[in-house]
A and B are shown apart, each in its own frame.
Chain A
Amino acid sequence: MARAPTGRAARAAEALVVPLGALAAAMVVFGLFMAVLRQNPLEVYALIYQGGFASAFSWQNSLSRAAPLILTALCVALPARAGLMVIGGEGALVLGGLAAAVAGHLVAGAPPTGVKLAMAAAGMLAGAAWIALAGALRQYRGVNETISSLLLTYVAIALFNHFVEGPLRDPASLNKPSTTPIGDANMLGPLPGLDVHWGLGFGLVFCLLMYVLVRHTTYGFALQIVGGNSRAARLAGLPVGPIVLAACALGGAAAGLAGMVEVAAVHGSANASLIAGYGYAGILVAFIARQNPLAIVPVAVLVGGISASGGMLQRRLDLPDATVLVLQGVAFVLILASEAVYGRLKVFQPARA
Chain B
Amino acid sequence: MIVPSGQPSRRDVLKGIAAAGALGALAPFAPRPALAADKLVVGVIYVGPRDDYGYNQAQAQAAAAIKKMPGVSVVEQEKVPETTDVQKTMGSMVEQDGATLVFPTSFGYFDPHMLRMAEKYPKIRFAHCGGLWTEGKHPKNTGSYFGYIDECQYLNGLVAGHTSKSKKLGFIAAKPIPQVLRNINAFTMGARSVDSKITTQLIITGDWSLPVKEAEAANSLIDQGVDVITCHVDSPKVVVETAERRGIFVCGYHANQAALAPKGYLTGAEWNWITPYTMHVKDAMAGKPMVNFLRGGLKEGFVKMSPYGKATSDHAQKAADGVKAQMLKGGYVIFKGPLNDNTGKTVVAAGTGHKQTDVVLEQMNYLVEGVIGKV
Give A contacts to B, CB under 8 Å: 32, 35-36, 38-43, 45-47, 50-51, 57-58, 60-61, 64-65, 67-68, 161, 165, 174-177, 195, 197, 262, 266-268, 271-273, 276-278, 307-308, 311-312, 314-316, 318, 320-321
Contact = CB atoms under 8 A, between A and B. Distances in A.
B77 A65 contact: no
Interface stretch (B93-101, B223-231, B261-269, B329-337): B93-101
The winner among A42, A45, A67, A315 for most chain B CB atoms within 10 A is: A315
B186 to A, nearest CB: 16
A36 B8 contact: yes
25 contacts: A35-B17, A40-B24, A43-B31, A43-B32, A46-B29, A47-B31, A57-B96, A61-B88, A61-B92, A64-B84, A64-B87, A64-B88, A65-B84, A175-B179, A262-B83, A266-B112, A273-B81, A276-B82, A276-B85, A277-B81, A314-B77, A316-B32, A316-B34, A320-B78, A321-B78
A176 B112 CA distance: 12
A42 B29 contact: yes
Given A64-B84, A174-B177, A175-B177, A272 B207 contact: yes
Given A65-B84, A308-B88, 19 more contacts: A35-B20, A36-B8, A36-B16, A38-B16, A41-B20, A42-B24, A46-B31, A61-B88, A64-B84, A174-B177, A176-B108, A273-B81, A273-B108, A277-B81, A311-B77, A311-B88, A314-B77, A316-B31, A316-B34
B130 to A, nearest CB: 7
A174 B31 contact: no
Given A51-B92, A61-B92, A315 B76 contact: yes
B167 to A, nearest CB: 31
Contacts of A320: 49-50, 78
B159 to A, nearest CB: 27
A239 B363 CA distance: 57
A61 B20 contact: no
A32 B14 CA distance: 10
Nearest to A178: B111
B84 A38 contact: no
A312 B83 contact: no
Contacts of A266: 83-84, 112
B112 A175 contact: no
Interface in B41-77: 43, 49-50, 75-77
B333 to A, nearest CB: 22
A176 B32 contact: no
A42 B20 CA distance: 8
Interface in B112-149: 112, 130
Interface in B13-37: 13, 16-17, 20-21, 23-24, 27-32, 34
A321 B92 CA distance: 16
Given A36-B8, A320-B49, A50 B31 contact: yes
Interface of B: 8, 13, 16-17, 20-21, 23-24, 27-32, 34, 43, 49-50, 75-85, 87-89, 91-93, 95-97, 107-108, 111-112, 130, 175-179, 206-207, 362-363
A70 to B, nearest CB: 14
B75 A316 contact: yes
Give 9 closest A-B pairs by Cβ, nearest first: A42-B24, A315-B75, A273-B82, A321-B79, A276-B81, A35-B17, A46-B31, A61-B88, A175-B177
A308 B92 CA distance: 9
Contacts of B20: 35, 39-42
A318 B24 contact: no
Nearest to A277: B81
B112 A315 contact: no
A61 B362 CA distance: 36
A311 B24 contact: no
B16 to A, nearest CB: 6
A350 B316 CA distance: 84
B177 A35 contact: no
Contacts of A50: 31, 96
A60 B88 CA distance: 9
B57 to A, nearest CB: 13
B95 to A, nearest CB: 5
B78 A197 contact: no
A262 B80 CA distance: 16
A174 B363 contact: yes
B96 A51 contact: yes
A67 B84 CA distance: 10
Nearest to B92: A311
B264 to A, nearest CB: 30
A267 B81 CA distance: 13
B87 to A, nearest CB: 8
Contacts of B82: 273, 276
Contacts of B43: 315
B17 A32 contact: yes
Contact of A314 (B23, B76, B177, B362): B76
A49 to B, nearest CB: 8
Nearest to B50: A320
A102 to B, nearest CB: 19
A31 B91 CA distance: 27
A177 B107 CA distance: 12
Nearest to B206: A161
A315 B75 CA distance: 5
A292 B152 CA distance: 56
Given A316-B31, A320-B78, A36 B13 contact: yes
Contacts of A161: 206-207
A161 B174 CA distance: 12
A296 to B, nearest CB: 19
Contacts of A314: 76-78
Contacts of A277: 81
A131 B83 CA distance: 24
Contacts of A308: 88, 92
